[in-house]
Every structure is written in structure tokens, then in C-alpha cells.
Homo-oligomer: A and B are copies of this chain.
Amino acid sequence: MQLDSFFPYRLAVASETFSRKLTEVYQQGFGLSREEWRLLFLLSNAESLTSRELTSRGTLDKVQVTRAAQRLEDKGLISRAILDEDRRIRVYQCTPEGRALFASLLPQVEARAQAMLSAMSDEDRMALERGVSALLRAATET
């Protein structure tokens, strides 16, 4: 068995290199980590989200949310408040700066992704899309 013909390995490498090229964009663009990027992504869509919602929607546990949110707040990209009904829970919200940054960053990230995907044939791209969707289902259920 060769390592580079071992499917799990190729999947990991493919995903890592793809991901890394995208990370470069928001990393160099504003020093955002992947966790911060994900939170900003989620928050820029919604009016506001609680810590609870952030941990359930994304793939981040509560510690990661705390830390990523802390940094985003330090950078002035999101705001953090205490929920009145339950004073344990935090409510996060994008600041205008956060929304502006995300709005300028998203097209760049998408462009970078497109650049790689458009190096593939239409059939390959469709196969990838289909395969990943199926894998996502299978891996989370199994």
C-alpha cells in the first residue's frame, strides 16, 4: 500500500492545500484565523447570534467560540453583549467594520476558490461537488 494512493490521505492533502490557499486571503487581508473567519461568516449573515447558536451551527466548540470571538472583538469586528433573559449567554453581532471587512473579503475568497475550481473540468467539478456532499452526509451519520 502506497501512502499517496491511500484515499484518506489524498482527501486530507487535497482539502488542506485547498483550505490553505483560501486561508492566505483572509490571513494576509486582516490576520484572521479560520475560526475567526467562520464566526465572521456566520455573524455577517445574521442580525445577531448567541454563543449557543454559534457553537451549534458551526464546527466550533464553546472554547473555540470564546477565543475567536474575543479576538474579533479586540479587532473591533464584532460586539459582545449579555443576554437579558439568561445572563450566562452572550449575544454577538457584527460591527459595521466587521460587515465591511467581510463584504470586501468574501469576493476575494470566492475568487480564490474559483481560480482553483476552474482549473478542473466541468465533469470533475460536478463530481467533486457531488462526492463531497455525499461524504459529508456519510461521515457525520456513520
Using a CB–CB cutoff of 8 Å, the interface residues on chain A facing chain B are 1-4, 6-19, 21-22, 38, 41-42, 45, 57-59, 106, 109, 113, 115-117, 119-121, 124-142
- Nearest B residue (CB) for A141: B119
Most chain B CB inside 10 Å of its own CB: which residue of A42, A106, A119: A119
Copies of this chain in its oligomeric complex: 2
Interface of chain A, main secondary structure? helix
Shortest Cβ distance from residue A33 to the other chain B in the assembled complex, whole angstroms: 13
In angstroms, Cα B132 to Cα A105, docked, is: 26
Task: Determine if B128 and A134 form an interchain contact, defined as CB atoms under 8 angstroms apart.
Answer: yes
- Give Cα A18–Cα B12 distance, bound, in whole angstroms: 9
Contact of A3 among B17, B57, B127, B129 (CB under 8 A): B57
